[in-house]
């Protein structure tokens, strides 16, 4: 079948709307009609090259070219066709994307760490998770899907392992948000950071991930939730989602955090800037007190190998630094759980959407994200 999709042909290029051809799903695969897709910063990292493997690595990955690639990994849609052997979803089901697949059988899935599933190893390699062959083409040329999901296309053939059935009464735009940004931010706070009631929490960077880290910290019972972002609009939104204090920079926040805590500093620091750079860790770890936890959620350029961390303080103050993907949650359990909290009025989702766009407006949506005008933009398909 044919579909319209936003395709990236190279670093520092704009998304281009193309007509693509999609082959029918094979064993373990599902054809999805995407209805909503979040404009997540991770797709912007493809444009800037931060998440593009260096060209010299491509032969080792078994690919001739990283591009073209259909963007979109935050999405929700409706199943229109299933291949042989598919059991978890059926035609007509509403589904959430899961940019980290879960096979249920590997060492990580079987020990409750679905976010680390071995099936995610091929995220940046062309072809399907199922058999390595392609289903998406432009004029006969194979096209890769971002995170094997490709929600910037009206239709996509996706492995069953990358889809999670959800109840049909949830707004699909809200389901799309939970599939990445909400789960990653909320989980960074409520799960990976291990926030407990009474904690002082600092969240650095209030975008689609950081705003949900604020929300997760508040729901976990934090006494103080300190949001840091240079954009006033984002600081104001942070207050709506549970922040108790806001600052424009880590430097500005430093003395205030010391004063608020009688010199003890933060119990938890969550790093969620738009792009993570190594030199940011000096201030990030300095904001954290004795016995504290610093969670690094934001994506750094793949080539970055150095970070400014005071190793004496790390040891002598008993601090810990943790990385996280998907908030260290289990997508098959936690996407439905988060949507249940939304249904019960505990988790804000509708309020996260700043503006809705058509697929043709994707570049305008990302411009608004870069300029700090959106917490989250969402593509809505007709």
Per-residue pLDDT at 125: 84
pLDDT band at 59 (very low <50, low <70, confident <90, very high): confident
323-377 pLDDT, tens digit per residue, is 999 999 999 999 999 999 999 999 999 999 999 999 999 999 999 999 999 999 9
- Mean per-residue pLDDT, 38-56: 92
CATH architecture designation of domain 185-324:
3-Layer(aba) Sandwich (3.40)
Structure tokens at 51: 């998440």
CA distances from 53 to 123, 142, 256, 270, 302 (A): 11, 19, 40, 26, 7
Comparing 53 with 185, the larger pLDDT belongs to 185
- Mean per-residue pLDDT, 140-163: 97
Judged against a pLDDT cut of 90, whether residue 62 lies above it is answered with no
As a whole number of angstroms, the distance between CA 57 and CA 49 comes to 14
Per-residue pLDDT at 65: 87
As a whole number of angstroms, the distance between CA 152 and CA 35 comes to 10
CA distances from 129 to 87, 123, 135, 149, 158 (A): 17, 8, 11, 10, 9
CA distances from 202 to 69, 281, 288 (A): 36, 13, 8
Structure tokens at 345: 């009025």
Domain boundaries, the chain: 2-166+349-380, 185-324
Strands (DSSP E) contained in the chain are: 2-8, 16-22, 29-38, 69-70, 75-82, 94-97, 136-138, 141-142, 144-145, 155-159, 163-166, 200-204, 224-228, 245-247, 266-271, 288-296, 320-323, 353-357, 376-380
- Find out whether 116 and 108 touch, Cβ atoms under 8 Å: yes
- Mean per-residue pLDDT, 75-103: 97
pLDDT band at 86 (very low <50, low <70, confident <90, very high): very high
The residues assigned a catalytic role are 40, 42, 45, 73, 180
Answer yes or no: same fold for 2-166+349-380 and 185-324.
no
Q: Which is nearest to 209 in space by CA: 223, 224, 229, 230?
A: 229
- Mean per-residue pLDDT, 272-292: 96
Judged against a pLDDT cut of 90, whether residue 284 lies above it is answered with yes
As a whole number of angstroms, the distance between CA 382 and CA 380 comes to 7
As a whole number of angstroms, the distance between CA 287 and CA 281 comes to 10
Per-residue pLDDT at 290: 98
Per-residue pLDDT at 57: 83
- Which residues are paired to 166 by β-bridges? 94
> pLDDT > 90: what percent of the chain?
93
Per-residue pLDDT at 219: 98
In CATH terms, 2-166+349-380 corresponds, of 1.10.760.10, 3.90.180.10, 3.30.43.10, 3.30.70.270, to 3.90.180.10
**Poorest-pLDDT segment among 2-6, 55-59, 105-109, 239-243:** 55-59
195-226 pLDDT, tens digit per residue, is 999 999 999 999 999 999 999 999 999 999 99
292-308 pLDDT, tens digit per residue, is 999 999 999 888 889 99
Judged against a pLDDT cut of 90, whether residue 269 lies above it is answered with yes
CA distances from 29 to 4, 25, 83, 345 (A): 20, 5, 5, 34
Residue partners of 260: CB distance under 8 A and separation at least 6? 200, 224, 226, 245
Comparing 53 with 151, the larger pLDDT belongs to 151
Judged against a pLDDT cut of 90, whether residue 23 lies above it is answered with yes
* pTM exceeds 0.75, yes or no: yes
- Mean per-residue pLDDT, 29-35: 98
Comparing 125 with 23, the larger pLDDT belongs to 23
φ/ψ (deg, to 5) at 291:
70, 20
Structure tokens at 336: 């439905």
């Amino acid at each position: 079948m044919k579909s319209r999709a936003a395709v990236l042909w190279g670093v520092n290029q704009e998304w281009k709307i193309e007509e693509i051809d999609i082959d029918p799903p094979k064993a373990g695969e599902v054809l999805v009609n995407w209805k909503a897709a979040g404009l997540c910063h991770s797709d912007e990292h493809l444009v800037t090259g931060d998440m593009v493997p260096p060209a010299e690595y491509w032969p080792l990955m078994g690919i001739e070219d990283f591009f073209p690639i259909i963007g979109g990994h935050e999405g929700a849609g409706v199943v229109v066709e299933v291949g042989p052997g598919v059991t978890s979803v059926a035609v007509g089901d509403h589904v959430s994307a899961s940019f980290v697949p879960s096979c249920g059988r590997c060492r990580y899935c079987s020990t409750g760490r679905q976010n680390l599933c071995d099936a995610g190893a091929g995220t940046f390699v062309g072809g399907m998770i199922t058999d390595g062959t392609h289903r998406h083409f432009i004029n006969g040329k194979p096209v890769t899907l971002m995170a094997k999901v490709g929600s910037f296309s009206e239709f996509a053939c996706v492995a069953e392992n990358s889809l999670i059935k959800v109840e049909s009464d949830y707004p699909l735009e809200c389901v799309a948000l939970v599939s990445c940004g909400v789960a990653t931010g909320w989980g960074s706070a409520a799960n990976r950071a291990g926030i407990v009631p009474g904690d002082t929490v600092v969240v650095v960077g209030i975008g689609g991930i950081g705003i949900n880290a604020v929300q997760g910290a508040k729901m976990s019972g934090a006494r103080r939730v300190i949001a840091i972002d240079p954009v006033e609009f984002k600081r104001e939104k942070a207050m709506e989602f549970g922040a108790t204090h806001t600052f424009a920079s880590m430097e500005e926040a430093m003395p205030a955090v010391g004063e608020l805590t009688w010199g003890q500093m933060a119990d938890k620091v969550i790093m969620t800037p738009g792009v993570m750079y190594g030199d940011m860790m000096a201030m990030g770890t300095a904001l954290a007190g004795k016995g504290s936890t610093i969670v690094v959620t934001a994506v750094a350029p793949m080539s970055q190998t150095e970070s400014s961390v005071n190793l004496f303080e790390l040891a002598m103050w008993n601090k810990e630094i943790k990385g996280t993907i998907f908030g260290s949650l289990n997508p098959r359990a936690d996407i439905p759980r988060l949507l249940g909290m939304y249904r019960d009025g505990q988790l804000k989702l509708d309020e996260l959407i700043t503006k809705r766009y058509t697929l043709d407006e994707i570049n305008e949506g990302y411009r608004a994200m870069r300029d700090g005008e959106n917490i989250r933009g969402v593509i809505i398909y007709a």
